[in-house]
Amino acid sequence: MISMKHWSRQFLLASLASGGSELTAAPTIAPAYASRLSVSSIQPGTGTVTQMAWGPGGRLYAARSEGGAVSFAYDAATGQLSDQRPAAAISGLGIAFLPARQEMYLTSPGVLWRLTDADGNGGWGSDPGDTQVALVAGIPGELHTVDQLQVKGSTLWVGIGIRTWDGGTGTTAFASEGESAYGGTICWIQDLSAVPSVPDAARVHGSMSGAALQSDATPFTTAAAGKLVVHSAGTRNPYGLALDAAGDLFFTNNYNRAETRGDGSSQVHGPNDFPGPDLSRDVHDQFFKAAAGADYGFRNDNWRGVRDPAIKARILDLADPQHLAVRSITPDNLYATDPNYLQLHDPAAPVGLGPSSSSVGVDFWYHPALPVNLYGAAFVARWNPIIGESSPGTRSIAYSDLVAVDPAGGTVRRVAAGFFFPLAVLADRNGHLLVSDWGAETVTTLRLLPPPDTDGDGLPDDWMQFHFGHSTPRADDASRAADDADGDGQSNAAEYVAGTSPRDAGSLLRILGIVRDAQGARVRFASVAGRRYRLEFSPGLVPSSWSTVTAGLWGTGNPVEIEEPIPPAVTARFYRVGIEGL
């Protein structure tokens, strides 16, 4: 990722132009998915969008590195943007909302902000009665800064990059004072409701300069739920944050330009993050599932006790009995045991995220029309247009694309290419994926196309291929739509609608249990991420007597439990669960 000192579009474009780079963007779908996805629109003039989030009134909000945050009217049917309006005067990299408290959160270099819009006019922190307060200011940063945000419930997470090139103690061109306790971490405020709207209300760090900066461990040691403290550490630049359907946090990490040693560590090529002469030996950018207290492995001399053994963060202490090492989900070329170790990265057929790809914005996408191998994947923008080897090397790798990462196994697939500087990614619920192009100042909408169904039986060809090994229904393996291949009482067609497996009798849409208590009934049912559910009840199983308990429930991949108040006099009630909107 480029330096926070260079978060200027004009600076970067001038630098590229002087090197003869072509300053154009023409996104296209990768051949493997050309029949399943299309570039449906490209919205110009959106500015330098760094993260996108859904806000009040169904509007799309966007943080920008220049020109402040903005919002757009969003057409859910087409994925098109219109009616661009100023939203906040703060420029930065992150944006998120806490709907229950009608609060917006933004990041700017070194600052975490809270804003409100008291009169609901779409201008946050700008009118009488609005709030605009720096909950934490002065977070140290030079090379990198405060990155993207995520909020779930009343918990906020934010990525914070290191100040130096390599996590050292200040001998490189940037960050003469080395790393603060915030550098190279995922931080969180566990309970935003415990943070008053006053300046520095969530701050724990004392002096953020000089020797104090290198020795103040309070972000590691403070446990207060209303303070910005370290959740996990050992990253370089954890730019993109995303929550999957189950609410688990994942993030991208920009590794530096360094040569692998094959044992999980690396060696920088030289000062100032210079490229090396052999890209096949370079460490790749990474994709992690975050875990509280985790160490993701990147160098941090200040807080691993290298600079001063007396100053060591427990999270980063390999000798600590509770040390939790977490490796990248995607192959990163750090380990000689990897079967693809030391292979030159091919961006069109990627293994891992690639060296110096600047893998940034990320979001999970769930929609029934997605190809089977993309359903529930994390879609990641790879920012860097091109990275070349230093002399005597002559090879280069071109990115500026969008890839999908399997969060379970780490397989990476290219989905689209031809962007300029793709940065932020956001999926909607209606078959669209939005990708901001920071360099072109556009937002591109990718739209799902109807899945091919050659025989017209309602089961897409790729779904059949995935589950049965062929796309034509046959009687001998019970792969016809009306068959029940696994004998669980659900037809193959019903399994497709439910998102369950037709070859696994334990995978089906079903109510798992009903518990009656003094308050009513607690109904628990199995769910699939990205499917939408309706729970209904009947007093006596009469066909016309079914009434809705609740609807529009999005599945998480985990069991869902709903509590329904029932009058004590009611002695019998029946429940059923179904799929909506397929």
Could you tell me how many helices (H) and strands (E) the chain has, helices first? 5, 36
443-478 confidence digits (pLDDT tens):
999 999 999 999 999 999 999 999 999 999 999 999
Q: What is the mean pLDDT of the chain?
A: 92
What would the pLDDT profile of 217-249 be if each residue is shown by its tens digit?
Answer: 999 999 999 999 999 999 999 999 999 999 999
Which of the residue ranges 2-11, 279-288, 476-485 would you say has the lowest mean pLDDT?
A: 2-11
- pLDDT at res. 515: 95
By C-alpha distance, which of 386, 166, 165, 388 is closest to 275?
A: 388
Question: Is-contact 492 503, C-beta < 8 A?
Answer: no
494-521 pLDDT, tens digit per residue, is 999 999 999 999 999 999 999 998 889 9
**How large is the average pLDDT for residues 31-47?**
96
Among candidate residues 462, 473, 452, the one with its CA nearest the CA of residue 481: 473
pLDDT on residue 18: 46
Structure confidence at residue 4 as a pLDDT band (50, 70, 90): very low
Q: For the whole model, what pTM was predicted?
A: 0.94
Q: Exposure pattern of 383-397 as b/e (b: 16+ CB <10 Å)?
A: bbbebebeeeeeeeb
Q: What is the DSSP letter of 489?
A: S
Per-residue pLDDT at 21 exceeds 80: no
Reported as a pLDDT band with limits 50, 70 and 90, residue 175 is low
Q: How confident is the model at residue 176 (pLDDT cuts 50, 70, 90)?
A: low
Nearest Cα neighbor of 139 from 185, 183, 196 is: 183
The pLDDT, as a whole number, for residue 178 is 72
Does residue 57 carry a pLDDT above 70?
yes
| For the chain, percent of residues with pLDDT exceeding 70 | 93
Q: What is the pLDDT of residues 142-170, one digit of tens each?
A: 888 999 999 999 999 999 999 887 887 65
Pairing of strands 28-29, 412-417: antiparallel
> What phi and psi, each to the nearest 5 degrees, are found at residue 213?
-60, -40
Task: Tell me: pLDDT of 58 over 70.
Answer: yes
How far is 306 from 302, CA to CA, in rounded Å? Answer: 6
> What's residue 32's pLDDT?
96
Q: Which of the residue ranges 19-23, 190-194, 537-541 would you say has the lowest mean pLDDT? A: 19-23
Amino acid 166 reads D
Q: What is the pLDDT of residues 330-363, one digit of tens each?
A: 999 999 999 999 999 999 999 999 999 999 999 9
Q: What residue has token string 């909950």?
A: 135
Supply the pLDDT for residue 214: 81
Of 558, 545, 466, nearest to 503 by C-alpha is 466
Q: Residue 12's pLDDT is what? A: 53
Cα 434 from chain centre: 13
pLDDT surpassing 90 at residue 172: no
